A and B are shown apart, each in its own frame.
Chain A
Amino acid sequence: MLVVVLMLRTISSLRERAKRGVTLIECMAAMAVASLGLGALMSVNSYQLRVVHATHDANIASLCIEERMEQMRIATWKQITDPLYLRSSFYAAGPKAGGALTNVSEKIIVNAYPDATIANPIVVEREDGNAPAIKGPGPEMAAQQSVRVDLYLSYDGVGGLRQNRQTSFVLSNGGVSRLTLPAFGAAASGTSTDLASASSSGSGSSGSSGSSGSSGFSGSSGSGGSGGSQSGSGTSTCIANTRGNVGGLIGIK
């Protein structure tokens, strides 16, 4: 009984309050709360737009790095171990894919592979608006059999924060195979000599065609056969030897 009376009183009180309406202060307080919610949504939206923009920039930067890697793959061994070529031709212009990026700087480091200590690296930098510069000549690099290439790209990201992309890959004079990459098995010195001779013909006749491609391929088909590599890698070795080198992607970050 008591509960029923209390409920009736409460309902009656609410009815009276409902008839009274809301004061302007109550209304404004409600508006303020709603505005705060809307403001929070606005900030979330703004953050989301920044993320979209940053993602777009990151995609573009990856394509730029990829473009540089493709440039390296088409170059001959002589060219990729020549700092003058890297400065004057490789970095002659910014990456085509990078039109949407601002203040792009690039750097390439060519190290001997697998032992980077046996030769001084080639370092070439290109900063936005400045001419590319050779920071390390690496005169012994052309005599190496394999090199590790590190490509760096940085740009002004969202909010002016400097963003960096990097990739590394291995190029070998005569093609990457089990014989030139110790990680895939021990390199036999006799076969290395064969590869070197095969690749020297490839790099010597840079830009020439079927003949250099065939001679390069002869060397690599032998290496693929002896290494027992699968058909996929055999193909890439063949392709690479057409131009005297091959790239194997290690990673992008």
Chain B
Amino acid sequence: MKFLLLPPNFPRAAAQRGFTQVEMFVSLAVLSILTAAMAVGAITIQRSFQASQSYTQKEADQMRLLDYLAVDLRNALTVQTDNATGTIQLALPDYYQTDGTPREPHIVHGMAYYGDPSQPVHVSYSRQNGMLVRQEGSKTTAVAKDVQDFNVAFRDEGQVIEVSVSFVPTFQNSGGGNRPGTTTICRTLLRNKRQS
């Protein structure tokens, strides 16, 4: 280190005498600290980016699931929820014909019916192999993938269904109570369900 402080015209022999062991230790220690700090910083940033990406992805899945559910719930004639399995089953009017064109309703005693009222369209949402799927007849749609940590809960209030979805963010210990800030609640009015 001394040679850094030496004037340019200092004898060449003195400049080439090398470092002492202490100088080497000090410089190595400084370099090690700096390198370690940079490595830790780089790794932390990378992990943070991954966590943010995962959080954003899960939140998008969460919103997509709630949107799917809200659309179906608004049309639902009947709803059955099962919190133990996180499953919801709905019966929807048969609005569309097999070719996808809208079906004209027929009015009976002031009530609108689509297709055969005794054969509504049955839709269910359930968890299958780490995915949340929407099943309509034989047609299965994966609404969200890789959502093993999703917790979907339903609350049936008669005319309103409350759906809450939460997940475990990355780098957070899993467990029932470790979902702060990720719980999203959507309350949907069952427009087609007749009030009793």
Chain A interface (Cβ within 8 Å of chain B)? 23-25, 27, 31, 34-35, 38, 41-42, 45, 48-49, 52, 55-56, 59-60, 63, 66-67, 70, 73-74, 96-97, 99-100, 207-210, 212-215, 217-218, 221, 230-232, 234-236, 238-240, 242-243
Q: Please state if B34 and A31 are interface contacts (CB–CB under 8 Å).
A: yes
Report the minimal beta-carbon distance from B62 to chain A, rounded to whole angstroms.
8
Q: Please state if B102 and A231 are interface contacts (CB–CB under 8 Å).
A: yes
Q: List 18 A-B contacts (CB under 8 A).
A: A38-B38, A38-B45, A52-B52, A52-B55, A56-B59, A59-B63, A66-B186, A73-B189, A96-B185, A100-B183, A210-B194, A214-B111, A217-B110, A231-B104, A235-B93, A239-B192, A242-B191, A242-B195
Q: Please state if A67 and B187 are interface contacts (CB–CB under 8 Å).
A: yes
Closest to B109 in A: A214
- Give every chain B residue within 8 A of A96 (Cβ-Cβ): 162, 185, 187
Contact of A45 among B48, B93, B181 (CB under 8 A): B48
Q: Which of B45, B160, B191 has the most CB of A within 10 A?
A: B191
- Give every chain B residue within 8 A of A38 (Cβ-Cβ): 38, 41-42, 45
- Give every chain A residue within 8 A of B181 (Cβ-Cβ): 56, 100
- Give every chain B residue within 8 A of A242 (Cβ-Cβ): 191, 194-195
Given contacts A207-B195, A214-B110, 15 further A-B contacts (CB under 8 A): A45-B52, A55-B59, A63-B66, A63-B185, A70-B160, A74-B189, A97-B184, A100-B181, A210-B194, A212-B195, A217-B111, A221-B107, A232-B95, A235-B93, A239-B191
Report the minimal beta-carbon distance from B126 to chain A, rounded to whole angstroms.
23
- Give every chain A residue within 8 A of B38 (Cβ-Cβ): 31, 34-35, 38
Q: Please state if A49 and B186 are interface contacts (CB–CB under 8 Å).
A: no
Chain B interface (Cβ within 8 Å of chain A)? 1, 4, 27, 31, 34, 38, 41-42, 45, 48-49, 52, 55-56, 59, 63, 66, 70, 75, 93, 95, 102-105, 107, 109-112, 114, 159-160, 162, 181, 183-189, 191-192, 194-196
